[in-house]
Structure 1
Amino acid sequence: MRSILKVLVVFISVTTAFYSCKEKQKEQPKFEGYTINGIIKGANNTYAKLLSSSSLNFNEAVVLDSTIIKDGKFQFSGKVEFPDQVTLMVDKYVSSFFIENSDITVSGDVSNITGRDIRFTLDVKGSKSNDEYEKIKKLQESLFNNEKYKPLEKIRELYAKAKETKSKEDLNKAMVLQEELRPLMLQRNDERVALKYNYVRENPSSTLAPYVLGVQYTEGRMTRDELKEFYNIFKGDARKTAFFKGFITKIYKDNFENIGVGNTAPDFTLNTNKGEELTLSKVEGKYILVDFWASWCVPCRASFPHLKELRKQYKEKGFTIVGVGTADEKEKWEKAIIEDQTPWSHVYDPSENHAYGAVAKSYGVPHLPTTLLIDSNRKIILRNPTKEELDNKLKELMKTIIKKT
């Protein structure tokens, strides 16, 4: 009898312990972070890095995590507060996707990339945010594939040819066709922009929204009123995203707090193409156009003939131009000055890897060309004006000078 009782006690103890362990297992919370399993063909014994997507310049991006790639495979794990876009860097190659707390797999191939191209296509599974973003991208791409916009492809081909041949005749052909097809260009652009704007307005808290808006959020593409409107539209987690905090906020502050109309343009001293030092605050002139450009920038150089006309028209009334070569090779910059026969002062803003130089960065240059019209006290009158805006403002300013004299 005692033997039976002992067996029952042991059985009950073991059973109780077993179910207690099961209960404890049930109570243990499931890992709520992300796991990223990657397979990249053509990559081995090198690093995979996750970078913040707060900057368009990968050299300035923050490294969030890194790991060794072995036999083309790697893994990341962690936890994020909200879905956000990150950039995957494999060796020198990059691709972006949306990370969220889920099991994500990414795969790609860097074995056949040639030339200066550093981007590769990434297949992403397990990220709902990335799936949604890809759908939006396809909607935008469908606009460019629409048959009614096919004639516009010829413009891109002509500009590419002009860049390759450096022929003014080829450049003129591209400009003439662009002017002819301008109504069609504007129609396509209006559709593309409307898609972006509508998504942001309808999804102001979505962490995808800042990336959908993207580089549309620049003064070259938006009016000042639109810059203010869309900066304030974003809510909640959207304002916490890397792109909002890094890119959108910088553009907003450059335009309205740091280097916008009414602010004082930063002073600088750089070497001219003639080997002399030029300091902006010492440049003589009542009104100065500071023009950031590069030899490879077709629109920059296409603007020079008109700038020559303005200089000729208003030089004696105190208008002058200072060209700032940036994101360029010095030899090519010097050659372009000779080829274009631009008679104004030119200075070179040095940098590494053809990135924007220190002066361009201090001016918050978002793209080339970037131009600022300033007065003799370096007060900014216009920032990135259109051709018409610059013409009208100079006409207005010069009338004032004539009345005073």
Structure 2
Amino acid sequence: MRKIVSGLLMGLLFVGCAKQETTYTIQGEWKGGDGKVIYLKKDLGNKQYEVLDSAIVANGVFKMQKPLGDVDERILQIDGSTNIVILDSVPIQVKCENVKKTVRGKEKESVKIEISGSVEQDIFKTVLLAQRDEMMIMLGLSFMGKEGKENSGMVDSLAQIYIAMKAKTEKTIDSLVTNYPDCHASALIINNFVVKNKDLAEVERMYDGLTPRIKNAYLGRKLKATIDNIKKTSLGNVAPDFTLQAPDGKNVSLADFRGKYVLLDFWASWCGPCLREVPNVKKVYDKYHDKGFEILSVSLDDKKDNWTNAIEKYDLNWVHVSSLQGWDCPVAKLYNVSGVPAMLLIDKEGKIIATKLRGELLMEKVAEQFGE
């Protein structure tokens, strides 16, 4: 992976980013794929997609070409596989090949897909590959963790590999964004990856380095909107109000709790770290509830039964709401939640006075408000 990324970075230094023109072109070859349909889709969120274009493979080739509009990320669906591309004015070349492989003693056919295009494509692909490798190590850690203590040495080794790989990914992202400030992909990378892992100052530093052309383009404006939202939910600001439904169907608003200290708690029934945090949260609630402390938990579940069963199972006897839209929860997006658990402490006037609260820090911050 190191050689691949290093080589790509060196190669990209001599190439400019694509300028927006009037049309996009996606063309490809697929020997043996006649009759198959290639789809170009837009991710609408909440597992909903809009088909923007399609092409049928005929005589081993296919092609799509339409007005471009804004340069943005899109999904190229080929034989059920999802391939993220940046749609710009430089033709995207796709090569599909039917391959056979043996899985558990049975031969199966799949499609090998190679996608190439502009520098925008290459930059974003570099980050996606790095993220994929991180995910593979995380899966390995999860698997080894279930195997027991006898594999603790291997778990430690994988953990060190993951830490090193994550640091390398961050370095790669910083290098790409710094060297390609006039690329739409740089704005997309900051919005999709940097915002989740860095503080506001770092995000703004990277944004400030982008060229005016990219700042004024769609992905640049989208990144600016994200930054503005982060500022709205930063320390000292009034927490944005919202309304969601409780398990009984009644509407609950954050404004309903004005005059009390409120812990805004983002969690999910499927989140192991959230459930491990439950004893700390319950301890704080039991100690300070009668003194004017409330908890408003926003679940990122997408199935009501999972959500309500967890509330009952773990005896979470405070106020709960959810949009039941998973990661597409509008309130999670409003508060720029990219991981759970995520907890914010809000004072009686509705101002955010503490964030990133977990473990003993949660008890300390709440205790401070009550003079302890």
Deviation at 1:330, TM superposition (A): 0.4
How many angstroms apart in 2 are the aligned matches of 1:365 and 1:183? 27
Task: Report the equivalent of 1:77.
Answer: 65
2:343 maps to which of 356, 364, 371: 371
Partner Cα separation in structure 2 for residue 339 and residue 264 of structure 1: 30
**Are 1:202 and 2:179 counterparts?**
yes
Q: Which residue of 266, 274, 277 corresponds with 2:241?
A: 266
Give the counterpart of 1:303 among 270, 277, 281.
Answer: 277
Which structure exhibits the higher relative contact order, with contacts defined as CA atoms closer than 8 Å and separated by 6 or more residues?
2
Q: Which amino acid aligns with 1:253?
A: D
Which residue does 2:352 correspond to in 1? 380
Tell me, yes or no, if the aligned pair for 2:285 and 2:293 is still in contact at 8 Å.
yes
Q: 1:228 maps to which residue?
A: 204
* Offset at residue 332 of structure 1 (A): 0.8
Under a length normalisation based on structure 2, what TM-score does the superposition of the two structures give?
0.70
Deviations 1:15-66 (A, max 9, x none): xxxxxxxxxxxxxxxx995532135787957562253x7x7766377x6x41
Aligned to 1:37, which of 13, 27, 37?
A: 27
Q: Would the aligned equivalents of 1:285 and 1:319 in 2 still touch at CA under 8 Å? A: no
Structure 2 counterparts to residues 8-23 of structure 1, below 5 A: none
2:48 corresponds, among 55, 59, 82, to 59
Q: Distance in 2 between matches of 1:307 and 1:339?
A: 15
Tell me the percent identity.
22
Residues 185 and 48 of structure 1: is their aligned pair in 2 closer, same or farther, counting only changes over 3 Å?
closer
**In the alignment, is residue 349 of structure 1 matched against residue 310 of structure 2?**
no
Provide structure 1 residue ranges, at least 5 long, that are not aligned to the other structure: 1-30, 113-119, 163-169
Gaps of 5+ in 2: 1-20, 101-110
| Pair 1:239-2:225 in alignment | no
Cα gap change, 1:110/1:234 in structure 2, threshold over 3 Å: closer, same or farther? farther
User: Are 1:375 and 1:381, in contact at CA under 8 Å, matched by a contact in 2?
Assistant: yes
1:67, 1:74 within 8 Å by CA — same for their partners in 2?
no
- Which stretch has the larger CA shift, 379-388 or 259-268? 379-388
* Cα pair 1:42 1:111 within 8 Å, conserved: no
Q: Identify the residue that residue 294 of structure 2 maps to in structure 1.
A: 320
Match for residue 88 of structure 1? 76
The one-letter amino acid paired with 1:368 is V
* Change in CA separation of 1:94 and 1:321 when aligned onto 2, cut-off 3 Å: same
Q: Which residue of 2 aligns with 1:190?
A: 167
Partner residue in 2 for 1:127: 118
- Write out per-residue CA displacement over residues 90-146 of structure 1, whole angstroms, 9 at most, x where no aligned residue: 58753112344444321458999xxxxxxx97411343442354455556767889x
Higher alpha-carbon deviation: 360-369 or 314-323: 360-369
Q: Structure 1 counterpart of 2:370, which letter? A: M
> How far is 1:289 from its partner?
0.8
8 Å contact kept, 2:265–2:297: yes
CA deviations on 1:257-313 (whole Å, 9 max, x unpaired) are: x443312331425223x6665443334873111112221222222222221222234
Q: CA deviation at 1:389?
A: 5.4
SS in 1 for 2:328: coil
| CA distance in 1: counterparts of 2:79 and 2:249, whole angstroms | 39
1:252 positional shift: 0.8
Secondary structure, counterpart of 2:370 in structure 1:
helix
RMSD: 4.5
Alignment match, 1:157? 143
Q: Which residue of 2 aligns with 1:106?
A: 94
- Which protein has the larger Cα radius of gyration, Structure 1 or Structure 2? 1
CA 1:59/1:137 → structure 2, altered by over 3 Å: closer, same or farther?
closer
**Counterpart contact for 1:210–1:244, Cα < 8 Å:** yes
> Structure 2: which amino acid aligns with 1:397?
Q
Contact (CA 8 Å) 1:196, 1:212: kept in 2 or not? yes
Could you tell me which amino acid in structure 2 is paired with residue 348 of structure 1?
S
1:303 match: secondary structure: helix
User: 2:307 maps to what in 1?
Assistant: 333
* Partner Cα distance (2:206, 2:332) in 1: 25
State the 1:329 CA deviation: 0.4
Letter in structure 2 aligned against 1:271: A
> C-alpha offsets along residues 345-393 of structure 1, whole Å, 9 cap, x if unaligned?
2223234xx5534444444444433332212333222344455654443
Q: How does 1:129-148 map to 2 (within 5 A)?
A: 129-135=120-126, 137-138=128-129
**Alpha-carbon separation, structure 1, partners of 2:75 and 2:122:** 16
Match of 2:18 in 1: none
